[in-house]
Chains A and B, each alone.
Chain A
Amino acid sequence: MTEWRHWFSEQRGTLLAIGIFAAMFLIYSTNHPAGFSVNMVQTAANKATLLAFVAMAQAIVVITAGIDLSVGMILTLTNCLASWIVVGTATETALGVIGVLGAGLLCGMINGAIVIFGRLQPIVTTIATGAMYYGIALFLRPNPGGAVNETLADALTGRLFGVLPTSLVALAVTALVIWVPYSRSVIGRAAFATGSSEIAAFMSGAPIRAAKFTAYTLAGLLSAIGGLFLTFFSYTGEAAYASGNAYTLFSIAAVVLGGVSLMGGRGSAIGAIFGALAFRTIGDLLFVFDFDPLWQPLFQGLVLMLAVSIGAFGLVRVRNRLEWFG
């Protein structure tokens, strides 16, 4: 019984995110002009998985009480890189995919190394490295263009057995292969411990540095997977500053919606995935209800603001005012 309660309190954010997503998706699909269909799910899934990958990346870093403001730029960079190297024969494509993922891994490692060994604040570090990654992206693709192995792209954006969107399957597989082992490993537990209290984690001998480094590295890798999928959807590479920034911003929104505490130590990447899916669905709701697309940014902003204000209700329960100041 008590174990069940612990599990519930740990997963409350994730469950809430799943609930929000389910409610939003229900409203969305019942009001969709074409009705609930495999096609509709596929389109929605393809749009949402990109954000879900980036949100996973952000969640892993946020759990260690850090933040990665360069995820969007890593996505842009890997998108530009993929539009060069993920082409040609099967072997070349495979090597290209490995190269793209390696580049993301490297970006994440650079972030991690600067934050841990350089002892700089994550916010400033990742803003600055983000500028650098964008510079490299611009160097790779001064103008939008390039190509991608279309067989692979179509395979990964199409449907499995005619029903399941492949992108969703890829997302689930990524979560299973990366998040589940990570969160159960010693390093992953150390990441949670570091996020709740770095001093306590240090005192109990948790590998703090390794945990943080792994978190930033995985964030780079997951953003690169996002960049790869962006290339598969768009067939091109583009160094778009605004869209890179938007992915960073939305990833934080998705993480908050997904019940990951920004103070660190609480939440899961699964929650962040559902947060991302919910956030995308909210954005699409407007189209379903036939609003002017011009109002979409305002609507998304207001939803974001509402979502972050919900946490404030906890203040009512505070007995001692000093707890306000954490």
Chain B
Amino acid sequence: MSEATATRPVPRGIAMLRRLDPAVAASFGCILLLLLVGSLYSRSFLSPEYLLQQLKVASFLGVIATGMMLVILLGQIDLSVPWVVTTGAMMACAVASHGTAGVILAIPCGILCGAAIGVVNGIGVAYLRIPSMIITLATNAVAQGLMVAYTGGFSPQDSASKAMRYLATGTVVPGLPNAVLAWAVIGGAAIWLLSRTTFGRAIYAIGNRERAAYLSGIDTRRVTMLAFALSGGLSAFGGVLLAGYASKAAQSMGDAYLLPSIAAVVLGGTHILGGRGSYLGTVAGVVLITLLQSILSVMQISEAGRQLIYGAVIILMLLIYGRQKT
């Protein structure tokens, strides 16, 4: 793995080039291609306003995909994203309706609820050794059950707090939406976590071979559990941002984020069996998917065609550069 050997004194530029994953390069190439196609279709496609708007939409997916990436690097998968996103959004909105204290606690509460579901996932995967695909499906069903019981099956009436709306739609730095800023902060933290901390190294190690990681003294179970907790918290934070963007939570708001978040991570060159991948690739994957969705809707293709093309393009891109080595 190139990251592990990069400590040798090599000139910076060459080291950067050597590190560049072909998959990451390919997905950046695909982004440029999509921009080209889009600009042929509509002149306004390359305008800064449009691109910034796309980046803002991408940041919701980006936050969720960050958590998904941590889990995929472990060689696991988190299928509980849809209802963790919804739980985060609904709980934040519910807390926000309880006076001043509620308004202050809304965002942390939403995130904590997601992290709690993540901890359950983590305990199941790490300590009970249940396959992640199963336990996350089960917690997804439980989270759905809790939310349906709580809301009575309808979209809740509580609306998002001002802080949530500001976080999703406001701007601190002129011209840069806060949602993008939030993604940038989380992305920066993820890069730091994955490349500069023992925790991040441990994640790669477990993804490569958990047995070897355990024998070299890593508490693999704790690392796995923490990664799932982080994934849950980040999904819930994505939900909080979405609720702020739409100014309320809705029943099936999370459904549209499961496939894209997995696809973004995998298209970005992260190996689905774990152990390999860079955050830069995930960023590329997220932007790629958002642009693809945007172009398909700009072209006014019906929902049916959009699903069809979307699935086909993902398979095609994976066939080009995501094949497993045999």
Binding site for B on A (CB under 8 A): 67, 114, 118-121, 123-125, 127-132, 134-139, 142, 241-242, 245, 249, 252-253, 256, 262-263, 294-302, 304-305, 308-309, 311-312, 315, 321-322, 324-326
| B30 contacts partner chain A, Cβ-Cβ < 8 Å | no
A263 in complex: contacting residue of B131, B210, B258, B273, CB < 8 Å: B131
Q: Which residue of B lies closest to A133 (CB)?
A: B311
Given the contacts A121-B324, A142-B304, A312-B128, A132 and B211 also touching, CB distance less than 8 Å: no
Q: Secondary structure of the A side of the interface?
A: helix
**Pick from A119, A124, A129: contact of B266, CB under 8 Å:** A124
Which B211-253 residues sit within 8 Å CB-CB of chain A? 211, 214-215, 220, 252
Q: Are B210 and A325 in contact (CB under 8 A)?
A: yes
Taken together as a complex, chains A and B put the C-alpha atoms of A129 and B308 apart, in Å, by 8
Q: Is the CB of B129 within 8 A of A135?
A: no
Contact status A138-B307, CB under 8 Å: yes
CB atoms of A311 and B130 under 8 A apart: yes
Residues of A near B163 (CB, < 8 A) are: none
Contacts of A311 in B (CB 8 A): 130
In angstroms, Cα B323 to Cα A263, docked, is 22
Report yes or no: A124 in contact with B262, Cβ–Cβ below 8 A: yes
Q: Can you identify 24 A-B contacts, CB atoms within 8 angstroms?
A: A118-B318, A120-B322, A123-B133, A124-B263, A124-B266, A124-B318, A131-B310, A132-B308, A132-B315, A135-B303, A135-B308, A136-B308, A139-B304, A142-B302, A252-B134, A252-B137, A262-B134, A294-B148, A296-B145, A297-B141, A297-B145, A301-B141, A305-B135, A325-B214
B307 contact set on A, CB distance < 8 A: 131-132, 134-135, 138
Q: Are A119 and B131 in contact (CB under 8 A)?
A: no
- Name which of A128, A262, A308, A311 has the most chain B CB atoms within 10 A of its CB: A128
From A124, A138, A249, give the contact of B304 (CB < 8 A): A138
Question: Assuming the A-B contacts A124-B263, A128-B259, A128-B314, are A315 and B133 also in contact, with contact meaning beta carbons closer than 8 angstroms in the complex?
Answer: no
Q: Check A125 against B315 for contact (C-beta < 8 Å).
A: yes
How distant is A78 from chain B, measured CB to nearest CB, in Å?
A: 16
Q: Nearest Cβ in chain B — how far from A186, in angstroms?
A: 23
Nearest Cβ on chain B to A90's Cβ, whole angstroms = 32
- Mask, B113-142, CB within 8 Å of A = 1, is 000000000001000111101110111111
Return the contact of B303 from the options A138, A305, A308 (Cβ within 8 A).
A138
Given A305-B135, A311-B130; A130-B315 close (CB under 8 Å): no
Contact partner of A297 (CB less than 8 A), chosen from B144, B305, B315, is: B144
Q: Contact: A135 with B266, CB < 8 Å?
A: no
A241 surroundings in chain B (CB, below 8 A): 255
Is there a chain A Cβ closer than 8 Å to B20's Cβ?
A: no
Give CA–CA (A91, B128) in the complex, Å. Answer: 55
User: B300 interface residue, CB < 8 Å from A?
Assistant: no
Q: Is B77 an interface residue (CB 8 A)?
A: yes
Are B324 and A301 closer than 8 Å at their CB atoms?
A: no
Across the two chains, which residue of chain B brings its CB closest to A117? B319
A297 to B144 CA separation, bound complex (whole angstroms): 7
| Shortest beta-carbon distance from A141 to chain B in Å | 9
B149 contacts the other chain (CB 8 A): yes
In contact, B259 and A120 (Cβ under 8 angstroms): no
Provide the bound-state CA to CA distance between A263 and B133, in Å: 11
- Decide: B133 and A252 in contact? CB cutoff 8 A: yes
A242 near B142: Cβ-Cβ < 8 Å: no
Inter-chain CA distance A230–B124, complex, in Å, is 34
Instruction: Please give, as numbers and ranges, the residues of chain A lying within 8 Å of B303 by CB-CB distance.
Output: 135, 138
A123 touches B77 (CB 8 A): yes
Partner pick for A136 among B139, B144, B304, B314, CB 8 A cutoff? B304
Please tell me if the beta carbons of A120 and B319 are within 8 angstroms of each other in the complex.
yes
With both chains docked as a complex, state the minimum distance between the C-beta of A315 and any C-beta of chain B, in angstroms. Answer: 6
Q: Which residue of A lies closest to B152 (CB)?
A: A294
Q: How far is the CB of A117 from chain B (nearest CB, A)?
A: 9
Tell me if A315 and B128 are in contact (CB < 8 A): yes
| Residue numbers in A under 8 Å from B318 (CB-CB) | 118, 120, 124-125, 128
- Cβ-defined contact, A262 with B131, below 8 A: yes
Task: Specify the chain B residue showing the minimal Cβ separation from A312.
Answer: B128
> Closest chain B residue to A239 by CB distance?
B304
In angstroms, Cα B228 to Cα A93, docked, is 50
List of A residues within 8 angstroms of B144 by Cβ: 297-298, 301
Q: Which residues of A contact B143 (CB under 8 A)?
A: 301
Which B residues are in CB contact (< 8 Å) with A136? 304, 308
Chain A proximity of B141: nearest CB distance (Å): 3
Judge whether B153 is part of the interface by a CB distance below 8 angstroms.
yes
A120 to B272 Cα, complex, angstroms: 10
Are A120 and B324 CB-contacts (below 8 A) given A135-B311, A295-B149, A304-B138? yes
List 3 A-B pairs, minimum CB-CB distance, nearest first.
Answer: A298-B145, A135-B307, A301-B141
Q: Are A300 and B141 in contact (CB under 8 A)?
A: yes
B146 on the interface (CB 8 Å rule)? yes
Question: Which of A118, A135, A301, A308 interacts with B130 by CB under 8 Å?
Answer: A308
> Which has the most chain A C-beta neighbours within 10 Å: B262, B273, B326?
B262
